[in-house]
Each structure stands twice: as C-alpha cells, then as structure tokens.
Structure 1
C-alpha cells in the first residue's frame, strides 16, 4: 500500500483533531439553561433585544445595562434568531470562539514551524482546564480571547512571515472587535513592543518590511473602524435621546467600567502574585511542561529567535498589566494562554517522551481519580453534612445519590485511563481521563443540576402556584428569575433599593389584587409582608424565594430601608 502523502496526512490529522475538539466542547449544549453568575445576565439582555427590537442599548429588565459592550449579547440574540432555542443560542458564541482560537493557534504553528507543531500547540491549548471550562460557559472571555488571538495572528503573520499587510490590517480590525467586546482587545497591540525591540536589536526570524508608512497607519484606521461599528451609532443615538439615563449609560460604559475598573477596582481583590497561582493550577496540564519548556525557551531567546520572543514577551506584558490593579480574576489573563500554547508546541513531541513528564502526568491522573472516587464513596456511604447540605440546596432527590455516582464514574474513568496508559503513556492517560471527565460533566451534571442552578425549578413552581392567568411582578430578583419566568413579568429596576422596589410592587398589586402576585427574595420581605400568609417557593441560587398576594400585605405598612440587606445587586 502506498504511503499517505504528507500534506494529505497532515490535513486528515487536523480534521480528526478539530472533530474531537468539537465533540468535547459542544457536549452538553441543549441540556441546560444559563447558570449564574454571568450567563443569565447576558442571555436575559439578548432575549430582551430579540423581544423589543432594541439591539443598540442593552436592557436588564427596565434598566439600561452598561456593564459590558453588547457584542456577546448580539451574538447570542443572532443565534436565537437562527436556531430558535435559547439553550442552544446562549452557548454558541463560546463554542465558535473556542474552535476559532484553536484553528488560529494551529495555523500559526503550522506556518511558523510545521503542521505537526501546529497540532501540538492547538492540542496543548485544548487540554488546559481553564480553556475548556470557560469555552463551555456563556461568558465574554472566550469571545475576547478569540478576537485577541486573531489580532495576534494577523500581527505575527506580518511581523514574522510577511510583509503581509492584509493580515496586519485584519489583525488590527480584530483588536478593535476585542475592544467592543470587553475593552481589553487593544492589548493585542502590545506585540509592537517586542517587535520594535527585536527589529532594533536585529533578531532572527523577522520579516523584511521596508517603508509602508501609510500602510502602517491604516492599521490604526482598521482598529478605529471596528470600534466605530458600535461606538458611533451608540453615541449618536444617546445624544439623540438626550436624557440623563442615556448620558449615564455612556459615562458608565466608556469610563467607569473601563478605566475606573482598572485604576480603582471595586471587587475581586487579590495580591500581585495572584496570577502565578492561576498559571500553575488553572493552566494544568500544560503547566506540567514548564520544567521542560522554560530552558528551551531560554535557548531560543539566546539564539535571538523572534518567533519565541514576540509571543513570550507579549504573554509577560499581559500578565503584568492585569497584576497591577487590585481587582483580579483568573479569566483576565486567559487571552495570554493561546500564545503560551503556541510557543510550547515545538517542544511537546520531545517532552511527551520524557520520563519525568510521563510520571507527573500519571501521578496527577491518579490523584484526581482517587479524589473523585473517595469523595463519591464518602458522600454515598458516610452521609457527611456537606453532602446533605448540598443535596438540600440543589433540590436533589435521594440525598443527591445521582451526583455522588457521577463523581464515582469520573474517578473510575480517570483511574481506568491511568491503568491502561501506565507510566509508558502517562501523558496520554491524563489527556484521555480529562476528556472523559469533561464529557461526563457535560452529559450528566448539566441536566442534574440545571433545575436549581438555572432557577428553572423555582420558576416552574411559581408558574404552578399562581396559575396560567395571573400577573407576576419581581422584587429583589436575579437575572435568572426574569429569564426563566413563563410569562412577561413586571420589574421595578434591578439596582434600585429593595424597599423602593417593594413599595412600587405593592402599589402595582393594589390595582388588581385578585390576579397579581409578587415574587420576592426572602431577605427583602421586610415587616410589610406577613410570611404566614405568603407562599414559600423554595431555595435556589443560595437564596430563599417567596410569593405573596395582596392579603399577605400588612395594612398601612410602608416599606422602609430596613428591608434592604445591603447586598451588592450584581453579586451571585
């Protein structure tokens, strides 16, 4: 039999890899609704876009939503318009962004080195815990990671393989799309710093780019053109409205949520060393290769290889940038992960054969498997307090037995992978075990935890209690409640003080007391509602929820600030 031509063989390997990536990342889509903290918020905004036809200014209930630019919400709404199901639409942007990021890393590795190196780099990214976890959630970070990686891709093709002005312009345009997704897309342009340094010092591997002054300037125009797709219509329309509400929206989204969040962070405070922990643990199992990749990177930098300097220096700049403010979250540095995987790719084939890496991988899979099995057996046989409390909060039947059996199955899969792979194939055992873990989580945990995690269960109870013809209002609500309601619900603001929401709800209820119900968080009931006449709905999302009709209201009582708990309305 004739050997398969190298090009055809490389294409087949790439096709099989991306098919596997699709199965792994898409598993579970359609089996759950949006889960807090961010998913219900973005999907609610997208749902209101579709229902109202107002796509330029996002709303959360009756209020304008100015925390984030609307790009992700646009894509979720577009997904709904195409597929007609929110369970599919809300996860599609993350899935497509993750697959796109993998392809960009693969293609760049293929062009800079070989097709096999590109596959190793993309595979390294796909195995990282943080990347897979975030790619299976409907948050902004996978999308902004894709746009930043696309910007890096265009710039690196120009700087290292060019001149390629079209790639450069597309990279700058992608950076602009990153800006209108989460503001930090402009960080991709920090690649210019190591590029200028390498060009000044005469490093190897740089493309010969002579002149082209107007072409360089066109990159700035491409960046601004992408930003203007949203910023121009938004500013023009806000000016046309001319109200304080729209002026506050512009002020908040352009300044408070960007420069203000960076210079004076108001949440998620961590020390400057926080990201070292993320790089070590959230980036497992790629972080196991650091002892092998670090000395090899040092050798390439000593050889003045710009293919390594530019991505590595950019990763360091991104980590330093996000280490400065007090507010830090692990996902902030996720856009640096694709470039780290890219420069790891050239060495992974060699490192996988090293005994120390195989041993470390096998030890990790055995440790994880033993931990899952131990936790599952303890919960099933010992009935510890934490297991009972978890089952009660989640409304799981049989003391959460299905959940604990899932942990056992996960642990068994990991240990089986370790037994089959053993030391000789320790790395493969770890990757196979992690793949089994992600599939079990997606196909088993999603439907099991969805009723309580998404508020679907509690809102179904609300519908059953009030009947199909009643009207519903919400006080001290969370986005998942409004999203999962089976009918249009009245709200009185999200960030408004709870006692003001309750007072407005009571006035609304008095207009038609026989058919109007108020859904309220238990902490906001206050003295004006008699709990003995109200209906307890249940516990969901770490909160107690109640319903009441007009007869539960204490006559003459006026809700006051004592009904407010002081809770951050955006907290989950």
Structure 2
C-alpha cells in the first residue's frame, strides 16, 4: 500500500462519476426545493413560454430565468425524471471543477490542479448541493467562471488578453445575474477591488471595468427587456423583496444570527475538516503568491458578507468552496513537504469519529432508539456501511506515504455516504419530505377533470409534478406564491378554510375532488361526505366522489 502509485488525473473523474452521476436518479425528489424547480422547468417546456417563470401556472418572480432554462434543457434532453431534475446541478459542479483546474494548472502546477479538484469535488457541501436540484450550483458555476476570468485578466500581459478575459468575466457575471440576480454583480466587486488594492493595481479595474459592465449588460438585456414587457412589475418585486428585504428587513425570510455560516462551515468542508488546521498553519509563506491572496479574499469576503445579511440559507456560501479547495491544497501540500504530523493525526481523528458514528447507528438500532418501521431493519446497516467505508479510507490515509495517495483516500471517504446513505433514510422522513410514492397511490383516483387542492406550495408542487397539472388550488397557506396569487387573474386559485365546504359542494356537481395535505388535517365533520381518506406518515389526502344525485 505504501508504494502504491496514484494518478489523480484518472481517479478524480472516476470519483466524480461514482459520487455525482451514478446515484443521481436513484432517490425520489425531496420536497419542497427539488420538486419546485422540476415543476417550474416542466411548465416552461410544456407552455413554450421561456420568458416568464410560472409555478402552478402562477407568476413566480423569486429568481430570474437562467437556472430554469438549464433545468428545462435538461428535461428536454433526458425526459421528466429524477435524473434530469438534478442533471443541471451536476453539470454545474463539473463546470466549477473545470474552472478550478484551469486556474490552478495555469498559475501553480498541474499536480496541484488535480489535488485542488479532488478536494473540491469531495467537499461535503459541494457534493450535497451538486447532486440536489437547487439553483446554487448553477449560480456558483457562473461566479466561479467569472472569478477565474478576472484573475486571468489580471495576469494577462497584453491588451488582447485583457479584452478577452475581462470580456469573459462580463459574460459570466451576466449569466450569474440571470441565475440569481444582483449578487452576481456585487460579489465580484467586493472581492476583486480589495485584491487589486492588495496588489497595488487598483487602476486596472478602473480602466477595464466599463468593458466588463458592457458585456454583462449585453448578456442580460434581451431577457431583462422581454420580462419587463411581459410583466412590468417583475423588476420591482425582484429587486425590493428578493434583495433588499431579504438582506436587511427585520422580518426577512430565513433570519439567522451572524455566526450561522461559521457553525455550518466545519460540516461543509468534511472530510477535510480535521486536516484543515494543518493546512491553515502552512499557508503563511504562500501569501506572497497572487493566486493565494485572491483565493483567500474569494473565500472569506462572501462568507462575511452573507453573515451580515439577516436572511441566511446555508447554500449561499457554496461559491466560497472553490477558493477553499485551493487554500487546502496548497496548505496540505506544504505540510506534506515538511513532513509534519498534522496530516497523520488529522486522519486518526477522522477515522475515530467516523467509526464512532458508524457504530452509533447499530447501537441505537439494537437499543430501539431509531424511528424504523417493519421492513426497515436494513437501513441502519446501510448507514453503518457508509460511515465504515469513510473510516476505512481514513485509516488508509494514515498508512499511505505519497501526497497523491493521501488526497485520493480523503476524496474517497464520502463516496460510500453518497452511494448508500440515501437508502438508509427511514420511512418517517420519506413520508414527510418525499411524496412520490404517496402520489402514486393517489393516481388511480385522479382524472384530468379531477379538481386538485393542496394545503401549501410544497404539497401543491407534488401534485403539479407527478400528475402533470398546473391548475391546483391552494388551501389555507399561500407561502411563496403570495405575490403570484395577488394578481386579479389568480384570485380564485386560493380557497380559505371558510370557503372550503361550499367550494367542494359546488365542484362536486361536475367532478371529483382530491385534497393533498402534509402535517395538517381537515375538519371532516364540517365538510360534505368524504369518499375516501388516505394516510402515509405526515401525508394525508381526501377524495370526494362526484355528486350524482343531480344527474
């Protein structure tokens, strides 16, 4: 084992395929995020309207259009299935990895490029979000490409190179803007400006900034004008509600304390957490390198910026993972060259922690503390296998002597987790967050004329996606569709609890009805006769047959 030769150029792509692509279609979609974005893209393809995003046929202005376009193209290529829903996220992770490789290969070495890339794809946050359908991986791709282009432009030794790379930076900033909005313009500014000040080349951005802005505007302008002509109030809602209020309002969504991201960062950088202190200690002598300075600012400033915002979601710091991979690679390489013990002892701690977690699953299982139903007794063993696999490669990392072998062992650690752990999720969670099986049970009772109702956008989206309907009525909670429901042409799509009995009675004259709910129940005694009630975990549904007494 100690003399084993490792070629990261072969191993790294294989790890990517096993971790990111093979498990992609195996697990059902998670509610609400994955089903929401699947449905928005499905409606875009179905309607042929590639300008205005809709959700359940209602205007949906929370994000611009690029992420929905990428998801829609994925569905056109691969069909409407679990794989296609997540494929754009995987593509984006691969794109970010490519940008990282090109950056490090050009400005450090090819060996360091493969080490950085191996670290990046194995980071828990990168792999978790990169195999999950949200827009953050796509946003991170375009930002990573933009940051990389800025650095290539900074190092270009002629005007042609600067025109090309600053132009590419503008292109990618524009695409990032079309994915998640104004942050795409702000984040490069608050990173690139301090970097140029540190390098004493601040005038560079003043000379070339106009070119970046011009290209970004050219990229954004066609859709920006088209959405304004189609929906004149889009930009007001998107700028004021989705940016200003989310950042500063006292009632901002997902309000969290300042330290929120620092609490999640250790989890985000697993399996490298226990060797990160060693990497940090050995970075000091490399701070004279422009790329290391740039990576440091690129990693730290976005995290600090998002920490100042009132509204916080853990996925916001995903763009900081690429520069963190660079810093970890350089620091660990330096530590290895100095033959420090940090790498070894970090691996020892890693192995012990993961072995304890693996054992804990079996101990809790045999003590009867795991929330398992009959027929689920294999699930703790899958969790045990996933974490034992991790601990095994931590042990191998202790024994190996080459840097590439150690990096390979660390990159392999989470592979078992992403291959097996999804199948260890208990029915308790499946029947609360993954409604595919429950909707399949309801399908025989649904025709194209059945009136569908849901108690929340999360349950609504499940009916949309799995039944291919965009005419579901909302009951009780408007959630993220409150703005879309405020339009006069959508007012009748929301039913209050007080209106429900009369609504059912009226609609029953012509069709059947189905109400899908999660974690709540109907006041059955106050409603017309319920023909059938369904229950699976937190999911429940009520079926009302057509009233034939008037036929």
- TM-score range relative to shorter protein: 0.7 to 0.9
Q: Following TM superposition, by how much is the alpha carbon of 1:472 offset from its aligned partner in structure 2, in angstroms?
A: 3.5
Q: Distance in 1 between matches of 2:364 and 2:193?
A: 54
- Partner residue of 2:464? 483
Which residue, 515, 518, 523 being the options, matches 2:520?
Answer: 523
CA contact (8 A) 1:537 1:545 kept: yes
Which residue, 359, 380, 383 being the options, matches 1:407?
Answer: 383
| Structure 2 counterparts to residues 257-406 of structure 1, below 5 A | 257-264=242-249, 266-301=252-287, 304-352=288-336, 354-379=340-365, 381-384=366-369, 386-388=370-372, 391=373, 397-398=374-375, 400-406=376-382
Between stretches 359-368 and 349-358, larger displacement belongs to 349-358
- Partner residue of 1:234? 227
- Partner residue of 2:129? 134
Matched, 1:182 2:168: no
Residue-by-residue CA offset, 1:295-330 (whole Å, 9 max, x unaligned)? 4333333xx432222221232221221111222222
Secondary structure of the residue aligned to 2:514 is strand
Q: Distance in 2 between matches of 1:138 and 1:387?
A: 27
Q: Distance in 1 between matches of 2:231 and 2:494?
A: 28
- Residues 111 and 492 of structure 1, relative CA distance in 2, 3 Å threshold: same
Q: Following TM superposition, by how much is the alpha carbon of 1:444 offset from its aligned partner in structure 2, in angstroms?
A: 6.8
| Structure 2 counterparts to residues 103-114 of structure 1, below 5 A | 103-114=98-109
- Partner residue of 2:488? none
Matched, 1:417 2:393: yes
- Partner residue of 1:193? 193
CA contact (8 A) 2:124 2:268 kept: yes
| Structure 2 counterparts to residues 114-263 of structure 1, below 5 A | 114-163=109-158, 164-165=161-162, 166-183=164-181, 184-186=183-185, 187-200=187-200, 213=207, 215-239=208-232, 247=233, 249-263=234-248
Matched, 1:42 2:21: no
Matched, 1:63 2:58: yes
Between stretches 317-326 and 491-500, larger displacement belongs to 491-500
Q: Distance in 2 between matches of 1:46 and 1:210?
A: 40
Matched, 1:87 2:82: yes
Secondary structure of the residue aligned to 2:223 is helix
Q: Distance in 2 between matches of 1:486 and 1:314?
A: 43
Between stretches 497-506 and 334-343, larger displacement belongs to 497-506
Secondary structure of the residue aligned to 2:282 is helix
Between stretches 289-298 and 115-124, larger displacement belongs to 289-298
Which residue, 488, 499, 503 being the options, matches 1:503?
Answer: 499
Residue-by-residue CA offset, 1:37-69 (whole Å, 9 max, x unaligned)? 311111111111112222211111132111112
- Partner residue of 1:545? 541
Q: Distance in 2 between matches of 1:195 and 1:422?
A: 37
Q: CA RMSD in A?
A: 3.3
Between stretches 347-356 and 543-552, larger displacement belongs to 543-552
For normalisation by structure 2, the TM-score amounts to 0.83
Q: Distance in 1 between matches of 2:541 and 2:134?
A: 26
Count of aligned positions: 514
Q: Following TM superposition, by how much is the alpha carbon of 1:221 offset from its aligned partner in structure 2, in angstroms?
A: 0.4
Q: Following TM superposition, by how much is the alpha carbon of 1:452 offset from its aligned partner in structure 2, in angstroms?
A: 6.0
Q: Following TM superposition, by how much is the alpha carbon of 1:234 offset from its aligned partner in structure 2, in angstroms?
A: 0.7
Residue-by-residue CA offset, 1:352-409 (whole Å, 9 max, x unaligned)? 5532222222322331232123213422x2222x414xx4xxxxx52x2132221122
CA contact (8 A) 2:453 2:460 kept: no
Gapped runs of 5+ residues in structure 2? 486-492
CA contact (8 A) 1:539 1:545 kept: no
Between stretches 344-353 and 169-178, larger displacement belongs to 344-353
Q: Distance in 2 between matches of 1:463 and 1:452?
A: 19
CA contact (8 A) 1:499 1:524 kept: no
CA contact (8 A) 1:194 1:309 kept: no
Q: Which has the higher contact order (CA 8 A, sep 6+)?
A: 2
CA contact (8 A) 1:109 1:118 kept: yes
- Residues 442 and 476 of structure 1, relative CA distance in 2, 3 Å threshold: closer
Q: Following TM superposition, by how much is the alpha carbon of 1:141 offset from its aligned partner in structure 2, in angstroms?
A: 0.9
For normalisation by structure 1, the TM-score amounts to 0.81
Matched, 1:471 2:467: no
Q: Distance in 1 between matches of 2:261 and 2:205?
A: 39
CA contact (8 A) 2:67 2:135 kept: yes
Q: Distance in 1 between matches of 2:47 and 2:112?
A: 48
